Each structure stands twice: as structure tokens, then as C-alpha cells.
Structure 1
Amino acid sequence: MECEKKCFMSNLLDYALDTYRSHFQKLPDFAAFAPGRVNLIGEHTDYNNGFVLPIALPLGTIIAGAKNGSSQVHIVSTSSQIGEKNFVIFNLPERGKVEKEPIKWVNYVKGVIAFFEGVVTEGFNAVVVSSVPVGGGLSSSAALEVSTYVFLEAIFQYHNSSLKEKALRCQKAEQLYADMPCGIMDQFISIMAEYGKALLLDCRSLKTTVVPFKTVEEVVVITNSNVQIELSSTEYSLRRKQCEEAAYLLGVESLRDVDLKTLEEYKTKLPIVIYKRARHVVTENARTVAAADALKNNDFITFGKLMIESHNSLRDDFEVSCRELNQLVDIAISVDGVYGSRMTGAGFGGCTVSLAEYMMVLMQ
């Protein structure tokens, strides 16, 4: 059984309990859940100190387990998508020390243990089950990190009231253990999500603004291209370096500090590729703030237009889309009742997100 295909939050816990019992011949003592996310708008802006507008998903990750009285972690993943060994044993890492495992997915768990604020006094047995597609741009990694952190809080009876601190520790685990120079968005929404609400996050100040998004007439539709994302690829790192180069050439700390008028004045002084990367970030920040305002006012027509503009910018200026994503967006916006559609996540594959009238979706 592949949990990615059948498990939503309602039966994910039962699957975790059954899986743990089959591997360790007893029920776990604790279980923790964290959701995946979809970013409605605000792509490749987080590591540029910009704005993002994600919502949590009913898809998520559960880690369930119990102490085992040793200094080792025995952990099982049920995912068939990781392409690596599913059962791993590793020694508890020293606090803050980076000692990576050859099995990549394990490093997300090991990294969180290393940067957990409390004291991990002994090893544990655990299973990981998830309904978040791996490599789909829906933040399977952050869901694993956050569920692991919450699990550690439960099993070792240490609770930090600062959600921000938890998110930052999970981000650090991914950056140093998984070699992914990620922004803060994914961990923040996975920890801070509220039902029926989006989260406008200022990635510089880390200020969050809850944006109500609870309507029976509109629905968010996520479509998986089934083109798997390889986030550690050179293209993702290259985009980040290009943004840093743009900020350097413009004489600012980050592209957050540039408006479109200033950027246009520098257009002839910048390499064309660097200019295009900067133009996406600058305009995407403006779109994200405008989209949050539109959502607050239930102005879904404006929100949809901003989604389409975002996709076009990601496709043409940031060049992180792909043929399959472009086709999915074109198909979506050709359907009556769809306000807008765009690629979501880092790009190079993954999913699209669309906003549509609920009744029109039912009729398709």
C-alpha cells in the first residue's frame, strides 16, 4: 500500500499505527502531524526577503514512535517515491553537529534531532507516513521536518512556545543536513497554519498576517505534472546566485529593496539574464501583496489575474517552468469558472495551483 495514493489526514494516523505495529510489534507512544502546503503566489521571493502567500493542505506527514532505550534511531519510511532504502538505523547526532547519512531522506530527520532545542536523552523507534507527494513542490520536506520536531517535543516532554523558533530550527536542519538553501516559507506555514486561512509572510521581518480564505463557492485545485523536482539541482542554486548578483549590482542588500522604477533605470547596466531574474522578484513581491489584499476582499477575479501574471513571469523571466506545467496552466485557464492558474513551488516540475468556482469544478 502506498500512502501517497490513498491517505488523507482522516486515515493517515491509522496507517501510521498499523505500520508501526507491523515493524515493531507494538503500538507507538506518540505521533505527530504536520501539513504540506501550496503557495498561492509569491514564488522565489522567500530567499530574496520578499513576500509569500501559502496555505496548508489536508495532506501531511505523521511520524509515530516510542523510546527504545538505546542511543540509536530505528526509522521506517513507507514512501515508495524516495528511491532509497526505507528502513535505516543511525546513531543520535551530537547537538548542532552535522554528520550526514548516505540515505538522503534520513538527513531531514537527523538534522531536526541535531538542532532540536530540547535534550534528546535516548534513541527511539519510528515510522514516517505521508500523503504529500515527494518532489511535487508541496513541501514534503518541511512536513517531515516539522512533524519530527513536534514528535521530539512530545516524546522528550519539551515544548517551546515560540513557533518562529521551531520553524527556524527546522529550516537550519534542511539547509545544513540536506544541503538545500531553502527560504523560511515552508517551515513557517507548516507550523503556523490555521484552518480556512492563508498566511502572508514577510520573509525579512518574519511578520505574519493571517488572511481569511474560507469560502464555499471557490476552491483551490492542485494538479500534479508528475515531473519530479530535483531541488538540489544546479538550476535552483543558480537562480539564487543570480538574484544575489542582481542585488549586488544594484547596490542593495536584497531584491526586496528594489522597486520596478529603479530596476528599469538600471536595465541597460545589467546583463539581460540578471535583469530578467530581478524583474520577476520585484514584480512578484508586488503581486503577492496585491493578491493578499484581493483575497481579503474576496476579489477572486483580481486574484486570478495576478496568478496568471505570476506564472508568465516564472515562465519567461525566471525560467523555472516546464512544458508540462505550461500546458496544465493553459488548460486550466481555458475552462469556464477558473479565475487563474500558475505553477507553484520551485519549478522545473511539480504542481500547478488554480483558483476556481466550486460548482464549475464539479461539472467538469
Structure 2
Amino acid sequence: MNSEEDIEMLSRVISFDEVVKTSIETFRNTFGAEPDLAACAPGRVNLIGEHIDYNDGFVLPMALQLGTVIVGRRNGTDTTCDVVTCSDSIKEGTKRAQFDSSTIAKGSPKWLNYVKGVMFHFRQPVPGFNAVIHTNVPVGSGLSSSAALEVATLTFLEQLTGKKVPSPAEGAKLCQRAEHTFANVPCGIMDQLIAIGGRADHALLIDCRNLDTEPIPFDAPELAILICNSNVKHELSSSEYPIRRKQCQEALELMGLASYRDATVEHLKALENANEVLVRRARHVITEIQRTQAAAEALKAKNFVKMGQLMTESHKSLSEDFEVSCYELDLLVEVRLGHVACLERV
């Protein structure tokens, strides 16, 4: 723990029912009316398939019971949008903002850019509305609070306007573009797809090359998914993430391939004169794609021991070859390895 504030943060995870209740009460108190529209989207945890969604790989996330809620209604104006957030992670004074839906531009407060980005790429006239946003997905925790907000916004806009995106995949791509252009985060597509397509008691195998999805049953009452907060803050746009993307692409080009889906470990020989860093990055991507496919088969067979082994191998690769772990995460995995009944995803 970094401070007493961190300990307090861990104790303040609120229930989804409380999120909904607070959203409605805040709307009523702020706007003097009852909301008549509501939308929500879940956070997610990725079981396996790390840093390969932007490398044409497979990923295996599952939706969480944590989620983001938007409640609202039309306000009788043509284009004036008035939005309030209840999030404790947002500083007072920046929790309410107004903007014009006909002249959307990114700016301050930063949290509103996720909403604006989705509205901009929605490409439909949006009437004036009032809305309240609330969530129990911890911000910056790696549980995809941003994608949950984007997908909840998209669902809210569909209800508000009566216009629908053609498919879940198109909706996910719209939200991804919003994050790229309005939040300046070069994210992959996984988070948005699971937020749109997740279902109870299932993981979702996503083919990130063509966006095909396959629900994988994970109905095991004797098991629980334990999500551990390392208290290491996750900030995608200011992290090593863009560097890793560039390194992966450079290694792929040196191997003379168009996609990592065409790559095998044998192709690493083409990198024998390249920087060792590029070799490690490519090795992680190639082997992680293989592990993720094997993990989906293990879940189908209810072979949870095999699943745990694959997840452990995944972390080792992330730590040693992709170098995106840290002391705190490695320690959590080390502790987990002392308990054979535990799977691991940190």
C-alpha cells in the first residue's frame, strides 16, 4: 500500500445497485426531473491474451459485475448537453460540464472527452440532453473503465436518438475510434468488444484480426475469479504502451510478414541480427497467441489446471519478454503459485 488513502480506496468499492440508485438520485437533485433513459456497460478482466489485440491475435476476456451507468433524458433544447459525473476519481469543480452537440471538440474536463468522442463518431444528430454518469469500475486499474464509459455512452445515444449501429463489431470500432481521437489513447479493440458482447458465465474468445467472437462457457460455481489490486496506477496514454506497439510492428516487418497470425517461433530466426528487445517482443506475441487458443480449449474442457498453467506462462512472458510487469505484480503471482487451487491474472 502506498498510503492510508490507498487503503480507504480499496474499502470504497460500491455495489452496482448503489451506482444505479445514486445516479437516479443525482439526476433528480440536479435537474429536478426523473430520468427516462438508462444505459450501462461492464468493466472487464482479460484472462489471457495480453498485448496481442493490436497484433491480430486472440484474446480471452470476461465481463465483470462492475460497470458504468448513464441515466438521462432530453432537455428540450436542440443541441445543449449537460452532463454530470458522480465518480470519486474526478476533482470537485470539474464534475459537471455543458457542451453543444453540433460543434463537438475535445477539451476539458478530460473525462468528458470519452463521451464527446463517441458522440462525434456516432455521426447522427444528437438532441440536447441531461445525463448523469456513475461507475464502480476503479479508474486506472486496468479493468477498462474507459471502454465501459464509451459503450455506455453509445448505448445511451442509441436510445436517445432511436438510431442503432449496424453490429456489435461496428459499435466497438466506433468506441475505439473515439478513444484514439478524443482521448489520444492508441488502444486495441478488445475492451470495447467485451463491453458490448460479454455475457454471464462466459469468457469471450475474440479474433482481433476479423473481430469474430466465440462465447466460451466458464460456468464453474466451485471457482471464483479473484482480482487483486496491486495499487500500481495504470495510465495507458502516458505508459510504455505506444512503444511496445511500435516494437511489435518493427519486428513483424523484419520477419517479412504481414500479420503475427502467420508467424511461428521459427520466424524468430529472421531476427537473429536484430536488437534482442525486438526478438523478445515478437516471441511474446507469437507464443501468447498460441497460449490463448489453448486456454479457450482448456476452458471448454473444464481443464482449469491447464488454464492456470497457461496463465502462469503468460505472466512469465509478459514479465521477461514484454517487460510490462513490475515488482508488485510479480510478487502477487509468486504468492499465488503457493496455492495450487488458484488461477492467476493480474
TM-score, normalization by structure 1: 0.88
In the TM superposition, 1:187-226 aligns within 5 A as: 187-226=192-231
Matched, 1:55 2:62: yes
Q: Shift of the alpha carbon at 1:6?
A: 4.1
Match of 2:154 in 1: 149
RMSD: 1.9
Asked if structure 2 preserves the Cα contact closer than 8 Å seen for 1:4 and 1:131, the reply is no
Identify which of 105, 116, 119 aligns with 1:110: 116
Match of 2:22 in 1: 15
Deviates more, 1:140-149 or 1:155-164: 155-164
Report the secondary structure of 2:12's partner residue.
helix
Deviates more, 1:34-43 or 1:161-170: 161-170
CA distance, structure 2, for counterparts of residue 104 and residue 34 of structure 1 = 20
Report the secondary structure of 2:133's partner residue.
strand
Report the secondary structure of 1:17's partner residue.
helix
Q: Give the total of aligned pairs.
A: 337
Identify which of 125, 132, 140 aligns with 1:127: 132
Matched, 1:168 2:177: no
Percentage identity across paired residues of the two chains: 48
Q: Shift of the alpha carbon at 1:119?
A: 2.8
CA distance, structure 2, for counterparts of residue 136 and residue 48 of structure 1 = 23
Match of 1:77 in 2: 85
Q: Which amino acid in structure 2 is aligned with residue 41 of structure 1? A: I
The 1:223/1:144 distance shift into structure 2, 3 A limit, reads same
Deviates more, 1:56-65 or 1:149-158: 149-158
The 1:233/1:288 distance shift into structure 2, 3 A limit, reads same
CA distance, structure 1, for counterparts of residue 267 and residue 90 of structure 2 = 44
How far does the alpha carbon of each residue in 1:323-360 deviate from its partner, in whole angstroms, 9 at most, with x for none?
1111111112212421x313xxxxxxxxx2xxxxxxxx
Match of 1:332 in 2: 336
Q: Which amino acid in structure 2 is aligned with residue 230 of structure 1? A: E
Match of 2:5 in 1: none
Q: Shift of the alpha carbon at 1:159?
A: 2.6
How far does the alpha carbon of each residue in 1:136-156 deviate from its partner, in whole angstroms, 9 at most, with x for none?
000100000000000111111
In the TM superposition, 1:224-303 aligns within 5 A as: 224-263=229-268, 265-303=269-307
CA distance, structure 2, for counterparts of residue 118 and residue 89 of structure 1 = 19
Q: Shift of the alpha carbon at 1:218?
A: 1.3
CA distance, structure 1, for counterparts of residue 148 and residue 304 of structure 2 = 28
Q: Shift of the alpha carbon at 1:267?
A: 3.8
Q: Shift of the alpha carbon at 1:72?
A: 2.1
CA distance, structure 1, for counterparts of residue 291 and residue 340 of structure 2 = 23
Q: Which runs of 5+ in 2 are unaligned?
A: 1-8
Q: Which amino acid in structure 1 is aligned with residue 130 of structure 2? A: N
The 1:209/1:244 distance shift into structure 2, 3 A limit, reads same
Q: Shift of the alpha carbon at 1:311?
A: 0.5
Deviates more, 1:74-83 or 1:217-226: 74-83
Deviates more, 1:252-261 or 1:220-229: 252-261
Q: Which amino acid in structure 2 is aligned with residue 88 of structure 1? A: A
TM-score, normalization by structure 2: 0.93
CA distance, structure 1, for counterparts of residue 31 and residue 10 of structure 2 = 19
CA distance, structure 1, for counterparts of residue 76 and residue 303 of structure 2 = 56
How far does the alpha carbon of each residue in 1:286-312 deviate from its partner, in whole angstroms, 9 at most, with x for none?
000000000000000000000000001
Asked if structure 1 preserves the Cα contact closer than 8 Å seen for 2:56 and 2:209, the reply is yes
Asked if structure 1 preserves the Cα contact closer than 8 Å seen for 2:102 and 2:125, the reply is no
CA distance, structure 1, for counterparts of residue 102 and residue 142 of structure 2 = 28
Asked if structure 1 preserves the Cα contact closer than 8 Å seen for 2:43 and 2:147, the reply is yes
Q: Which amino acid in structure 1 is aligned with residue 81 of structure 2? A: V
Report the secondary structure of 1:269's partner residue.
coil
CA distance, structure 2, for counterparts of residue 250 and residue 83 of structure 1 = 47
Matched, 1:318 2:322: yes
Q: Shift of the alpha carbon at 1:214?
A: 0.7
Higher-strand-fraction structure: 1
Deviates more, 1:225-234 or 1:41-50: 225-234
The 1:42/1:89 distance shift into structure 2, 3 A limit, reads same
Q: Shift of the alpha carbon at 1:189?
A: 0.6
Asked if structure 1 preserves the Cα contact closer than 8 Å seen for 2:151 and 2:196, the reply is yes
Asked if structure 2 preserves the Cα contact closer than 8 Å seen for 1:244 and 1:254, the reply is no
Report the secondary structure of 2:306's partner residue.
helix
Asked if structure 2 preserves the Cα contact closer than 8 Å seen for 1:118 and 1:153, the reply is no
Match of 1:25 in 2: 32
Identify which of 86, 89, 94 aligns with 2:98: 89
Q: Shift of the alpha carbon at 1:25?
A: 1.9
